[in-house]
Amino acid sequence: MTTHQFKVWRDRSGIPHVEATAFDQMYRGQGYVHACDRGMQLLLMRILGQGRACELLDDSDEMLAVDTFFRRMNWTGGTQQTIASLAPDHRRWLEAYCEGVNAGLQRKTPWEFRLLGYRPDPWSAHDTVMLIRMIGYLTLAQSQSEIERLLVEMVQAGVSREKLEELFPGNLQEMDYELLNRVSLGERIVPPDVLWSIAAPRMMASNNWVVAGRKSASGKPLIANDPHLETNRLPNVWCELALTCGERTIMGGSMPGIPGLPVGRSPDLAWGATYAFVDASDSWVERCRDGCYYRAQDDAWHAFRLRREIITRKKKPPVEILFYENDHGVLDGDPNQEGYYLATRWVPGESGEAMLKATFEIGQATSVTAGMAVAGPIESAWSTVLADRHGNIGFQMTGRVPRRREGLSGFVPLPGWHSENDWQGFLTPEEMPRALNPEEGFIVTANNNLNALGTADPINISMGAYRAERIRQLLQKGDDFTTDDMTAMHFDLYSLQAERFMSILKPLLPDAPQADILRGWDYNYDAASQGAYLFEQFYQALYREVFGRGGMGENVVDYLAAQTGVFVDFYANFDRILLAPESTWFNGESREDLYRRAMKRALAAPARQWGEARQIVMAHILLGGRLPGFTGFDRGPITVIGSRATIHQGQIYRSGGRMTTFMPSFRWVADMAGETLRSNLAGGPSDRRFSRWYTSDLANWQAGRYKTIAPEATQERHPFP
């Protein structure tokens, strides 16, 4: 497709290439591609972010709860200020991107929305800012808020301070156990009908790494990235693109609705990202009465700001919801009812300017240091590794992280009426964890704790270090690495977690066929492994023995494991206890006795292959499960390999009442000796079911084959769209 402003074509893999002679033309072309290839995805995300799903899609009570959540977050608020603060060039490019989106939507509105009677409003810069905020929370910060809320629930369930200190070491400074018991929680991680108990009778990831040229066969740096996002969905979160302005091409993964490439490469620089697990969200306990909150500094009561939201419903009366806000965020409760409530603030959701600036500037940066300077101010939390053609490698953690009073981690809700508990500014990019050309010749991040690389500690709780340790282990084994070595590492299924647990369990195994399978297991989570299946039965049983009987109740442990991401994200905190020789959670029993009892449970069932229990369907994000399988909107079943602790992560759980997964949704590698990028995607370029590009890369993704994206104009070309 050619206009007087830009040219768009597809390569042999269906990846859109936009060619232009000016940046505004290039971004207009990107917007056009997003609207044509991912218009349904783009519009659906906007509907959800605006909290209008009941009005436009489905007016069920479940969807009302979803709308209420998005209205509470208020990502549409203050977008005009963010847009106005952009540099003139960036504002012009953003408007050009929106013009391209609207040109694409005018060409053809996705038929799924026409069936629903939805005629979309024009796309605007406000919508892009909203999406930046929304994506930063849903894929990143939500898990942090979830675990902090769980702490309060555990306090109110009577879990002892001693056990909580052991589970969250170094994070419970100044925790007022009595005050947290008095807090009224409006939203619970564990619903009231899932009973907490103290004794039996009362019974919500990614890798990237970069290798220096002295450890590569080409003599130039190598970079690898595989964002672990929800994969049991079509289309993929990521939309691959190549953008050319003049003689310069950038290529990589984009997100519909947002200009630029969050991950990818240019001729000079490559950048890959994972979530950093920094704590940029805090809750405070507010003392409320008569619609006001108390402040000790003036011994006075102050009125909340009141925000009224009207949620329109398709076939039911509209619903008015009141949100009470102050400088600590949105209150979880009604301050007209006297009591103690939590107010929560997530600071990256208040802007988006730095993220937009970075999306425009990163592709023009020509060195690692320039790329670090561009990425550093980004509001949301990312661990970004970088490599340049000059031979440099680097790492920069991002996130607008609050500066708290000395001695506080931000994990525990503290009294909001004491001003010393307020935020005291924000950390600078220079204080955040970062590195440049380290002596060992590589940098690895895998959602693990990287505080040691900074002068401040933005992380108070993170994922386990198993994946990062395994990547380091492989990179330490040799030199002369190639992109083939990097792609092979993407599919590594060896679990250091299992190795450590099995070192304790092996001596306890009985002389029995099931035990022999475990005894001979190689700690790999391939589809045919029976050892992986039996180990996971043991691991789950151990959770029930230690945390179920030890204080939370087995039914609560089962709920957290099956219906939330708590154990998915923060298993390292629980593993610390499970691997310890002694623990208050053992309630006076020995670790070995608990292991034996869990082992007895696990070995009671027949062994199965790991893949038999790991089948998912990739569901269409709007029509998934609503149409017969032969229509082809959903694809599968697909076998999930890997585990929580393998480089190829493979996790399945339910959250918010729906099945979700953590898997490598998009894998890519690059060698800075050339200008190409190798990748595969769980899906394809288009969200159009009847397009040949709907799932054109899915077989490659499953088989571990990588296509090549190149800027050369001599490539085989296919018409767009």
Could you say which DSSP state residue 138 is in?
I
Model confidence, pTM: 0.94
**pLDDT grade for 576, boundaries at 50, 70 and 90:** very high
Domains and CATH numbers, the chain: 6-136+679-719 (1.10.439.10), 496-612 (1.10.1400.10)
Single out the residue of 543, 684, 701, 689 nearest to residue 630, CA to CA. Answer: 689
| Cα separation, 332 vs 343, whole angstroms | 6
Compute φ and ψ for 329, nearest 5 degrees: 110, -145
Residue 654 has pLDDT above 70, yes or no: no
- Torsion angle (degrees, nearest 10) of CA 114, 115, 118, 119: 20
Three-state DSSP class for residue 250: strand
| Cα separation, 358 vs 354, whole angstroms | 6
Q: Are 94 and 128 in contact (CB under 8 A)?
A: yes
Residue 195 has pLDDT above 60, yes or no: no
Percentage of the residues of the chain whose pLDDT score is greater than 70: 95
Query: Tell me, what's the pLDDT at 427?
Result: 96
Q: Are 526 and 610 in contact (CB under 8 A)?
A: yes
Report the chain's C-alpha Rg in angstroms. Answer: 25
- Torsion angle (degrees, nearest 10) of CA 146, 147, 152, 153: 80
Mean pLDDT of all residues in 634-660: 84
Q: Are 131 and 153 in contact (CB under 8 A)?
A: no
- With 0-12 / 13-18 / 19 or more C-beta atoms within 10 angstroms meaning exposed / middle / buried, residue 596 is middle
pLDDT tens-digit readout, 80-93: 999 999 999 999 99
pLDDT tens-digit readout, 227-278: 887 788 899 989 999 999 999 999 999 999 999 999 999 999 999 999 898 9
Query: Tell me, what's the pLDDT at 194?
Result: 43
Mean pLDDT of all residues in 643-651: 92
Run of H or E residues at 78: none
**pLDDT grade for 663, boundaries at 50, 70 and 90:** confident
| Cα separation, 297 vs 295, whole angstroms | 6
- Cα-based angle 287, 288, 294 (whole degrees, multiple of 5): 60
The single-letter code of the amino acid at 144 is Q
- Give the lowest-confidence range in 32-36, 173-177, 295-299, 437-441: 173-177
| Cα separation, 274 vs 255, whole angstroms | 15
